[in-house]
Amino acid sequence: MVVVFFIVSFVMYFLFNLIPSDPARLELEEMKKTLRPDVYEKMYRDLRESMGLDDPIIVRYARWLGVIPEKSGEFNGYFQANFGYSNFYKKPVVNVISAPIRTTVFMNIFATILALGITIPLGIWCAVHKGSRRDNFVQVFSIVGYSIPIYIIALVFIYVFAVLLRWFPVSGIGTPGANYTGLRAFLDELYYLGLPLIVMTFASLGGMSRYVRSAMIEALSMDHIRTARAKGVKERVVIYSHAWRNALLPVVTLIISWFLGIFSGSVLVESTFGISGMGRLYIQSLSNHDFEVSLFVQMFYTVVSLVGALLMDLIYGFVDPRIRVNK
């Protein structure tokens, strides 16, 4: 896991280093006019040397991470919470990203809770009533749900709920000009995030309910269910206690991988609804060539997905006693 982190982060760093840029020259740009060319050239070379720009990429990478010290002797990298400097916003990356991270994390967790609250009962219900007319209807509907890209769902929902019914604002986060505080601010934010959250939830319904359903069908077809039924255990107990526990394992896998998916998937929702979250920040930083910010966001996504994978392994062990976490 740790190795994977280093490899992936190195790949990222390497890719961003493909972008031609020269921080040393940038630093000296203002002095260029006042200095004699040879002095400038010497200063430039000294600066390059002190910044360590001519060192092999692996050394620069290690410095960037904060594993080995800078030329000046102090550690100053990601591990020391130095995420670089945004050229576009003219402030450290840490200050740029704090608000978007809050929005994105809030949105994703909220959407996850909503989606789980709907899909798990739905999936179980479909599995129990497998083959019925209503189940078939839900199945077809869920294929439609997971086939259509989220931004098309978003467009349709904007049209229906924001344009036709005017229940929600079309885009943005927070009423412009309003200075709400406390609960009022929270409700206002919720009002603006309402439609994006509905879209995110709706988009995940199809795939997730199918998955829950198939896991549940698998669990219901096991022998011990038949035994339980034969013993005359109540159907509710059979479903929620005997079968659901066994279906939980694949569902846990799903929940986590899906949670990771919506983190990067929220790029779409954010850019469609004009919400200033991580995804939108990422797109903006890429098109503004503000690469230190992009690099940070990319690292953020990577860490989230790695932590998710780790979590998945741990929960596996927790849910299924047969598996031991040995890594």
Per CB under 8 A, residues contacting other proteins are 3-5, 7-8, 11-12, 15-16, 18-19, 130-131, 140, 143-144, 146-149, 151-152, 154-156, 158-159, 162-163, 170-171, 214, 217, 221, 260, 263-265, 267-268, 271-273, 282-283, 286-287, 294, 297-298, 301-302, 304-306, 309
In the complex, least distance from residue 74 CB atom to other proteins, rounded to whole angstroms: 30
| Cα 174 to Cα 24: distance, rounded to the nearest angstrom | 41
**Shortest distance, CB of residue 73 to other proteins, whole angstroms?**
32
User: How far does CA 96 lie from the centroid of its chain?
Assistant: 17
Minimum CB distance to other proteins smaller for 31 or for 140? 140
Q: What is the DSSP code (8-state) at residue 1? A: -
Q: Say how far apart CA 64 and CA 71 lie, in whole Å.
A: 12
Nearer to other proteins, 8 or 185 (CB): 8
Instruction: In angstroms, give the least distance from the CB of 228 to other proteins.
Output: 19
Q: How far is the CB of 127 from other proteins (least distance, A)?
A: 10
Task: State whether the Cα torsion 9-12-17-18 is positive or negative.
Answer: positive
CB of 166 to other proteins, least distance (A): 11
Residue number with CB closer to other proteins (248 or 268): 268
Q: What are the φ/ψ torsions at residue 231 (nearest 5 degrees)?
A: -75, -10
Contact 57, 6 (CB under 8 A): no
Rounded Cα gap, residues 74 and 96, in angstroms: 24
159 or 318, CB closer to other proteins?
159
Q: Is 232 left (phi over 0), alpha (psi -120 to 50) or beta?
A: left
Least distance in Å: CB of 150 to other proteins? 8
* Separation of first and last alpha carbons in the chain: 9
Give the nearer residue to other proteins in terms of CB position, either 204 or 298: 298
What are the two backbone dihedrals, phi and then psi, of residue 214, each rounded to the nearest 5 degrees?
-70, -35
Those residues whose C-beta lies under 8 Å from the C-beta of residue 289, and which sit 6 or more positions away, are 19, 87, 88
Measured from the CB atom, the residue of 131 and 182 that comes closer to other proteins is: 131
Q: Among residues 58, 23, 86, 52, which one has the least CA distance to residue 292?
A: 86
Q: Helix and strand tally (H, E) in the chain? A: 13, 2
Q: Report the nearest approach of other proteins to the CB of residue 304 (Å).
A: 8
Residue whose CB is less far from other proteins, 50 or 132: 132
